[in-house]
Amino acid sequence: MNDNSVRRDAWGSKVGFILAAAGSAVGLGNIYLFPMNTGEQGGAAFVLIYLICVLLLGVPVMIAELSIGRRAQSDPVGAFKVIAPKTWWKTLGALGVLTGFVILSAYTVVAGWTLKYAWITGTGQFSGVDSAGIEQTFKSFVSDGPSVILFHLLFATITVWIVTGGIEKGIEKATKILMPLLLGLLILLVIRSITLPGAGEGISFYLKPDFSKVTVRTIMLALGQAFFSLSLGMGAMITYGSYLSRNTNLVSSALYVSLVDTSIAFLAGFAIFPALFSVSELSPGAGTGLLFLVLPGIFNAIPLGQFFGATFFFLLAIAALTSTIALLEVVVSYFIDQLHWKRGPSALVVGSCAFLLGIPSALSNGSVDFFSGFMDVLFDYFFPISLASGALLICIFAGWKWGTQSVMEEVRSGCPSFKLAPVWTVLVRYVCPVAIAFIILGSVAPWVNSS
Ligand code: PHE
């Protein structure tokens, strides 16, 4: 529970909260994974399945997480201790805190790469370089341990600095600047991309519905992508919800956050595919290397590419930053609420430990294979199993343990007339658990991965 002698931090405004929560949601998952999955898994067909997942599974789970956090006014571990005292449910909170910590350590490494790439591109080091040269530059960067660690450190330091500032004066203040900046840069890139000659081909690749590409794996990817992208299943929304006041409308908040997250993911595809098709013969499904190997070549070939390339990688860094802030805050809130540490030392210690844990992966390999391998492990195994298990247990907790009546009581404070409460109840009790169990099974079943 809280140390009651100290007033708990809180969001300054609903808009501030929505921007921060949307910031947590918008990350590498949106700018990079969503367009890739869409391109590879049937274009508009994937978008449609994804939208259904967000609406039927993502939004209900987000409402549940926000309610748990706001009711308990505590970190993920404390939240379950408050609502279900003396039960093992607190272990679910602990799993979330641990997951947040591990994702943070790896996320800052890749985020550091994006910063370095913004620098390399902006200073013209890619200008006139062919694809072999780009690969060479990439390899020499990722095998240059001190440089990778320096950018990893830089990123971790910025994250710690913002989280140290607190909820309103740190996280909210930063995201109120970063999110509009991110949207502005993204729109600029979209305009550049769709006005290039031959852009139409990219747009039609991105959006043309191709249901023949839809397999069981497609549905599994869409489900997984929805949970990862909305930052669900590991306590981030419980933590952010715990700083909310009783009169905030949790339903509209969950809808706004999901809308911003999905719109940014959707827009990112318009920044990538038209540019890709306008200059390249390369297959858009070029895999994880696309980001760091193919895109610099694309920016080389378009007018003002140096500027737009640097902008793109800077945009990725901002998206990653608003996510690392949330990941760090989950762990920091545990230190503050459970261990009664002060915010500054908590952020510093957790941030330093995450930085140290990230060093082996930062040094692990000087090749694209590392990045692909890292992404694959994170997204194919670690994420589906850990985040989906977390989301499944949250549904069971909200639907059966704490009970849908109690959740609705919490929701009604701030949203007195939630007409879809019966629909929400059916979704959280039955539809979500079954669908999520399907993701978990799918991620371990070889017949799904090979299809
Ligand atoms: N939602 C983030 C993304 O799309 C990742 C994330 C997951 C951030 C969980 C915070 C918590 O990249």
Q: Is there a domain that residue 450 lies in?
A: no
Q: Is there a domain that residue 7 lies in?
A: no
Atom of ligand 1 nearest to the CA of 232: 9
Output the CA 274–ligand 1 centroid distance in Å.
26
Q: Of all protein residues, whose CA lies closest to atom 9 belonging to ligand 1? A: 231
Report residue 418 CA to chain centroid gap: 28
Residues 6+ apart with CB under 8 A from 315: 31, 182, 185, 186, 189
367 in Cβ contact with 426 (< 8 Å) = no
Output the CA 320–ligand 1 centroid distance in Å.
8
* pLDDT score for 281: 56
Q: Is there a domain that residue 375 lies in?
A: yes
* pLDDT score for 369: 61
* pLDDT score for 39: 80
Output the CA 367–ligand 1 centroid distance in Å.
25
Q: Is there a domain that residue 232 lies in?
A: yes
In which residue are the tokens 């981030």 written? 236
* pLDDT score for 268: 92
Q: Is there a domain that residue 298 lies in?
A: yes
**Successive 10-residue mean pLDDT values, the chain, 451 residues:** 62 95 93 83 90 95 97 97 96 94 87 88 83 79 82 95 97 96 93 89 87 86 88 96 95 96 94 83 56 78 85 92 97 97 97 91 61 60 75 96 94 90 96 88 61 42
Q: What is the CATH number of the domain that holds 420?
A: 1.10.4160
* pLDDT score for 103: 87
* pLDDT score for 364: 64
In this structure, the number of other CB atoms found within 10 A of the CB of residue 170 comes to 20
Q: Which residues line ligand 1 (CB under 6 A)?
A: 24-25, 27-30, 228-229, 231, 234, 236, 323, 326-327
Q: Is there a domain that residue 146 lies in?
A: yes
Output the CA 403–ligand 1 centroid distance in Å.
27
Output the CA 198–ligand 1 centroid distance in Å.
33
The CA distance from 92 to 100, in Å, is: 12
Please report the sign of the dihedral spanned by the C-alpha atoms of residue 113, residue 115, residue 119, residue 122. Answer: positive
Cα Rg of the chain (Å, integer): 21
Ligand 1 binding pocket mutation candidate from 24, 329, 386 (most atoms within 8 A of CB): 24
Q: Is there a domain that residue 387 lies in?
A: yes
* pLDDT score for 450: 46
User: What is the count of structural domains for the chain?
Assistant: 1
Q: Of all protein residues, whose CA lies closest to atom 6 belonging to ligand 1? A: 231
Q: Is there a domain that residue 186 lies in?
A: yes
Output the CA 27–ligand 1 centroid distance in Å.
6
Name the residue range of residue 89's domain. Answer: 14-444
